């Protein structure tokens, strides 16, 4: 049984099980579960502190490589297969695809066939290594949640555009907290946690959509409540009452590349 040591306080070491491929959390039914049945009940929960009857979390095998899809993810782009993607009219997506790398080619934005609401999304992307554009014309693409809410993809390493349209921006609403951009041509990563909006039975919005986003491992939006669907040169329009929608990738006319895209519905 593999264990790692975690120093949590001076002179106090805990030993915790490794997640992937480790069965140490499996309980022997003949053995009493570790924990207590005489501790206080946690406020707002049905469980006691360290409750011995509290179910163990489900196991997920982490990927063998950093950034790889864990065992419970839906792989949206993991090889030479575009079957998860379609064009706006429902036809098969025809973006260039080679060696697991998909490239915008002027045939229009694409979206997933499946729809998602609350989710964790991992996307790797690269803007062109050489481009003679500027501002919004330099490596422009975008990752849309529910087809409505864009996290901007742009070359923002040395290219300047309006702040709420730079790489990692919630387009037209919030710039990223910091600019964590790599140079054009280099692979970059978005790890996005998205909370879909909620509506009551009459269609009135109870809570807005929220984004937490890491760009190349750097936090750029922390549980940020957004105003509504993202749009160009205008205030957010009403977004209907959908709580699920496709992930879509924008064709903005620049040959931006994508690879290793996976999603975990939450
Ligand atoms: Mg864009």
pLDDT one-digit tens code per residue, 160-191: 999 999 999 999 999 999 999 999 999 999 99
- Residue 190 C-alpha to ligand 1 middle, in angstroms? 14
Answer whether residue 120 shows pLDDT above 60.
Answer: yes
**CA gap 91, 47 in Å, rounded:** 50
- Residue 222 C-alpha to ligand 1 middle, in angstroms? 21
**CA gap 87, 113 in Å, rounded:** 9
Do 79 and 211 sit in the same domain of this protein? yes
The pTM (predicted TM-score) of the whole model is 0.87
Do 39 and 132 sit in the same domain of this protein? no
Do 191 and 228 sit in the same domain of this protein? yes
- Work out the average pLDDT over 217-239: 95
Do 125 and 32 sit in the same domain of this protein? no
In-domain check, residue 61: no
Answer whether residue 19 shows pLDDT above 70.
Answer: no
The string of pLDDT tens digits covering residues 39-93 is 999 999 999 999 999 999 999 999 999 999 999 999 999 989 999 999 999 999 9
How many other CB atoms are found less than 10 A from the CB of residue 134? 11
Please tell me the predicted confidence (pLDDT) of residue 28.
65
Please tell me the predicted confidence (pLDDT) of residue 132.
83
- Work out the average pLDDT over 201-221: 96
List the domain range (segments joined by +) for residue 18.
1-54
- Residue 128 C-alpha to ligand 1 middle, in angstroms? 14
Please tell me the predicted confidence (pLDDT) of residue 4.
42
**CA gap 157, 28 in Å, rounded:** 54
- Residue 27 C-alpha to ligand 1 middle, in angstroms? 49
Provide, rounded to the nearest whole percent, the portion of the chain with pLDDT above 70.
89
In a 13 Å sphere around the CA of 137, the CA atoms on its Cβ side amount to: 4
**CA gap 141, 132 in Å, rounded:** 16
Say how many domains are in the chain.
2
- Residue 179 C-alpha to ligand 1 middle, in angstroms? 16
The string of pLDDT tens digits covering residues 138-156 is 999 999 999 999 999 999 9
- Residue 100 C-alpha to ligand 1 middle, in angstroms? 22
Please tell me the predicted confidence (pLDDT) of residue 239.
73
Q: How confident is the model at residue 10 (pLDDT cuts 50, 70, 90)?
A: very low
In-domain check, residue 59: no
In-domain check, residue 212: yes
Residue pair 129/139 in contact by the 8 Å Cβ criterion = no
Ion ligand 1 neighbours (CB, 5 A) are 140, 142, 152, 250
How many other CB atoms are found less than 10 A from the CB of residue 149? 26
Please name the residues in contact with 34: beta carbons below 8 A apart, sequence gap of 6 or more: 52
**CA gap 130, 136 in Å, rounded:** 15
Q: How far is CA 197 from CA 146, 205, 232, in A?
A: 10, 7, 21
- Residue 167 C-alpha to ligand 1 middle, in angstroms? 9
Which has the higher per-residue pLDDT, 30 or 11? Answer: 30
- Residue 13 C-alpha to ligand 1 middle, in angstroms? 47
In-domain check, residue 93: yes
Q: How confident is the model at residue 5 (pLDDT cuts 50, 70, 90)?
A: very low
- Residue 142 C-alpha to ligand 1 middle, in angstroms? 4
Q: How confident is the model at residue 29 (pLDDT cuts 50, 70, 90)?
A: low
**CA gap 175, 166 in Å, rounded:** 7
């Amino acid at each position: 049984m593999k264990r790692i040591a975690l120093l949590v306080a001076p002179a106090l070491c805990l030993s915790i099980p490794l997640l992937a491929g480790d069965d140490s959390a499996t309980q022997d039914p003949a053995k009493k579960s570790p924990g207590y049945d005489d501790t206080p009940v946690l406020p707002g929960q049905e469980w006691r502190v360290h409750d011995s009857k509290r179910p163990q979390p489900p196991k997920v095998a982490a990927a063998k490589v950093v950034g790889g899809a864990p065992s419970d993810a839906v792989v949206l782009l993991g090889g030479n297969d575009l079957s998860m993607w379609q064009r706006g009219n429902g036809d098969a997506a025809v973006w260039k695809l080679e060696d697991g790398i998909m490239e915008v080619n002027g045939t229009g934005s694409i979206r997933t066939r499946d729809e998602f609401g609350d989710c964790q999304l991992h996307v790797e992307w690269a803007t062109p290594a050489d481009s003679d554009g500027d501002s919004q014309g330099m490596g422009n693409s975008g990752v849309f949640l529910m087809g409505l809410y864009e996290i901007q993809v742009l070359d923002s390493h040395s290219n300047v555009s309006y702040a709420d349209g730079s790489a990692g921006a919630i387009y037209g609403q919030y710039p990223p907290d910091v600019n964590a951009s790599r140079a054009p041509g280099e692979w970059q990563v978005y790890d996005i946690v998205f909370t879909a909006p909620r509506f009551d039975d009459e269609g009135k919005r109870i809570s807005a959509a929220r984004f937490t986003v890491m760009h190349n491992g750097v936090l750029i939006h922390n549980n940020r409540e957004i105003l509504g669907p993202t749009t160009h040169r205008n205030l957010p329009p009403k977004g209907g009452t959908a709580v699920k929608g496709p992930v879509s990738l924008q064709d903005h006319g620049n040959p931006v590349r994508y690879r290793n895209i996976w999603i975990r519905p939450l």
